[in-house]
Structure formats: C-alpha cells, structure tokens
Amino acid sequence: MQSMTNLIAQILGILALVTSIICYQFNSQKKILIAQIVASVLFTVNLALLGGMSGALLNIHGICRALTFYAVNSGNNKSETSIRARSRFWAGFYVLAAFICTAVTYQSPLDILPLIGQSCTTVAYSMKDPAKIRRLTLPSPPCWFVYHLSQGNIGGTLNEIFVIASILIGMFRFDRKSANS
C-alpha cells in the first residue's frame, strides 16, 4: 500500500511539474497565476501523500494567495494606485500567513526553506509586471529544491530545476526585449 501511495504521489508531482514549467512561458500575470493554482493543487496532494505537511500547507496557502492576487488585479475600472496598495497589503498578509503555516507544521529546520521560497513568490505575485514576477520568483526554486529533495519528491525536485530554467527562458524571451526597448 505504501508503494502505491508513493507512486500516486510521484505521478501527481510530475503533473504539477509540467504545469509549473509551462506557467512562466505566459506573458500575462493572470495566466501565470492560473497555471500556478493548478500546479499548487497537484503539489498539495503530492506533498501530503509524501508526509511533507509544511510544503502541503504552504501550497494551500499558495492557492489562496494566487486567487487573491488574481482577483485584486482583475478588472479595468480600478486605478493603478489602488491596485498597488491592495497588492502590497495582500503581499504582507500572505507573507505573515506563510510564517504561521510553517510554525503550525514545523518539523525540522528544512521547513524554513519553503517558507523563504513562498515569501519570495508572494512578493513576486503581488506585482502586475510579468518581468518583475519572473525576477522576484527566481530565489524560490533553490529553496523548494532542497525541501523536495528532503521529502523524496521526484516531481517537486525536478520541478525546481525546470522552473529555474523556465524563468530564465521567459526572462530571455520577454524581459530582455523590453529592457532593450
């Protein structure tokens, strides 16, 4: 039974990996967030099956965070100043929530790594500019890489390698062009 649970967890991790790789190839905050929600749902179940409860809870946190930033930045009738103010509030709220999630599920110092990664990504997703999202997300994958490795999570470990590559490719494809314009 344990091997079947592990197999299911690894398959879900691979599906999350594929979704996560694709997300940074979008040049829209909304599309990036939608793909991240799907990946986070898959990683939540993946990590819970592997016993990585801090990571699972932080992925639930990530789903809530992505839904919030999607809602905050939707619509054309809002002033840019109002959107930025709301995004800053929610970024602070979700960084604090990530600390609480980690404190509740803390098992070892390794649990601090996804907290750092989650905090970087939270600040990144509060930005509307996809270039800033990619740049501020870059520190997150190394933190999650070590955590996934410690949980024996094949999909999660590979995910972080591919996410770094995907972010860098997205930066090359989109951000380099806008920096030179």
What is the predicted pLDDT for the residue at 178? 63
Q: Which of 29-33, 56-60, 69-73 is most confident? A: 56-60
* pLDDT above 70: residue 111: yes
What's the mean pLDDT when you consider all of the chain?
89
Q: What is the pLDDT of residue 85?
A: 66
pLDDT at 63: 95
User: Residues 61-105: pLDDT tens digits?
Assistant: 999 988 888 888 776 556 666 666 678 899 999 999 999 999 999
Here the tokens at position 168 are: 């860098």
Note the pLDDT tens digit of each residue in 120-151. 999 998 888 889 989 999 999 999 999 999 99
Report percent pLDDT > 70 for the chain: 91
